[in-house]
Chain A
Amino acid sequence: MAKSLGPVKRKFSPWTDPNEKPFIRFENITKTFGDYTAIDNLTLDIYEREFFSLLGPSGCGKTTLMRMLAGFEEPTSGRILLQGKDISGVPPYRRPTNMMFQSYALFPHMSVEKNIAFGLKQDGLPKDEVTARVAEMLKLVQLSQFASRKPSQLSGGQRQRVALARSLAKKPKVLLLDEPLGALDKKLREETQFELMDIQTKLGLTFLIVTHDQEEAMTVSDRIAVMDKGVVMQVATPAEIYEAPNSRYVADFIGDINILEGKATAVGGGLTKLDCDGLAIAVADEAPCTAGDSIAFAIRPEKVAISLDAPADTSVNTFHGEVWDIGYLGDFSVFIVRDENGRTMRAAQANIARLVDRPITYGDMVWLSWKAESGLVLTR
């Protein structure tokens, strides 16, 4: 399934290289709390220098997985390997991982400097080395002039950077980031995302980030693991996750998508044909299914064209209906179209011109159309 889709940020894809050894390996991990299964027989590989995201709704087990790597939880069964060595039973204070906490967990009774130096002092480093390293970290996060302040004297964004500096100070093999930007406002969050990526590339560290924010995961990660109920649904690059989700769950979780349930009618010749309750659709992909299987058709709204007249090209898939609702999102408008069977489908159109003479409005009968290459078949 490793199709190359979309541009890759940098030439970095160790997961495609069969000779590459994983840096971190979660091997058949199960974690239960009483009757509740937080992680269910999960196996996952993360490579060195990768920026890896665990993405999922709250309660999907992503935080538990990260806390197991940090050593705050022990797996009920399974092993965690770091550079091939089993780290089960190693307490958190002996693990070469450091964590940036969601609440930042800055020690309120210590200055910025002391916070950053804390981990270094635990290693018993000589004083001048500690001082030099702290200065280096402060410079990295641009907080040198705040060294002697207490955390309560800093803004949210500054605290976030102190927390980052503190967790980076010990040069951990893996940096764990638990919802690192959750407490920041939208604008600051976007800026910080790029800062994080920059720091990661500069230091050449492995980052593991836990987030429920799909945009954040898409922006920063080399690869994303989408999790649900203690199970990894898909592990892939952001572009693959978006363009080729492997299941209804992933498709629905990331971005906006139309999903129509139906049955496969024919598979072969580079095409999968579906019948969605009377609507015949063709997809340019041979899905792993046979005629008669219950499958779903999915397409992103921005890949659906909308017009008042029937499209001239008869090879495309079409959907005819009435404009039911229009959502104006600024850069885009989303049209919700309903056919005579009560089925709805959404089409997004970039607002290239200003609003004045919008040709399509509420109640118009319109044609939605898309190419066979634009849609997807979801078998899971």
Chain B
Amino acid sequence: MKFTRLDATVLTFCFAFLYIPILILIVYSFNESKLVTVWGGFSLRWYRDMWSNQGLMDAAWITARVGVLSATLGTILGTLAALAMTRFTRFRGRLLFSGMIYAPLVMPEVITGLSLLLLFVALGIDRGFWTVIIAHTTFTMCYVAIVVQSRLVTFDRSLEEAALDLGCPPVKTFFVITLPLILPAVISGWMLAFTLSLDDLVIASFTTGPGATTLPIKIYSQVRLGVTPEINAISTILVGIVTLGVIAASLTAKSRELQRQRDERAAFRAVG
């Protein structure tokens, strides 16, 4: 398969399509003018406004806490689910179990949100901070399960057997052998869960209650009223955090890979 000029053109256009809207958004967050079509000069005015917007800041703080808690819970549950799916090839209800792992990945958010809301009402639970966390945990754990599962299927089981063989009991084996080796997948699962939670509008809208307005809900209510540069500013910050996170993660992965390759070459020379 050769990389042709046509391929290069296609990629250029597609990536332009993906990135130009975000770039515009970022550029206009530094626009002095309130109008999208007019460039009024560079300014950090909207960042100041954003900073002093108490409602927005409260929402950001709630979102961060919801994100960390639900991502952590989701990662624990999702890792367990991934272990269950790879290590227990047959148990009663396995089909239902894997069904419940895959379905939330594609389930329209309005359905998940509405159904969880009705559950909370039926159980008589007051909606608020914790109900959002439960809701987010439920759908993020499925993403974590998929990410961790894909690592576990390539995991060499004989490593665990070797540990058992050398006298290490099963639970300890999980913590000293399995977990350290699947940790990169668990961490990227956590990051995915965190950003999904950070991003969610629909499910949070259904399951939240008074005093637990998350950032997407806040942004949504302002966006409905029209484009405001303040939203551009907070969007830019969110995009910036995520971009830095992803780039940092991929750079560490890359340097680890390079180190591994160097090691292998060194080993090869050692033989020769």
Contacts and interface: CB of A to CB of B under 8 A. Distances in A.
A/B: CB atoms within 8 Å of each other: yes
Nearest to B177: A107
Given A93-B164, A118-B168, A152-B264, A158 B156 contact: no
A93 B161 contact: no
A291 interface: no
A258 B125 CA distance: 83
A153 B267 contact: yes
Nearest to A92: B164
B166 A118 contact: yes
B51 to A, nearest CB: 43
Interface in A192-239: none
Given A108-B181, A109-B181, A122 B264 contact: no
Interface string B132-169: 00000000000000000000000010110111111111
A103 B162 CA distance: 10
Interface string A357-380: 000000000000000000000000
B168 A105 contact: no
Contacts of B266: 153
The size bracket of the interface on B is 20 to 34
B87 interface: no
A105 B157 CA distance: 9
Nearest to A67: B161
A319 B244 CA distance: 83
Contacts of B156: 103, 105
A155 B268 contact: yes
A105 B162 CA distance: 6
A95 B168 CA distance: 11
Contacts of A92: 161, 164-165
Contacts of B164: 71-72, 91-93
Contact of B260 (A94, A103, A152): A152
A324 interface: no
A109 B177 CA distance: 8
A170 B167 contact: yes
12 contacts: A70-B161, A93-B164, A94-B167, A98-B166, A105-B156, A107-B162, A122-B166, A152-B260, A153-B264, A158-B267, A158-B271, A170-B167
Given A105-B162, A152-B263, 14 more contacts: A72-B161, A99-B162, A102-B158, A105-B156, A109-B181, A118-B166, A118-B168, A119-B167, A122-B167, A122-B168, A123-B167, A153-B263, A154-B270, A170-B167
Interface of A: 70-72, 91-95, 97-99, 101-103, 105-109, 118-119, 122-123, 150, 152-158, 166-167, 170
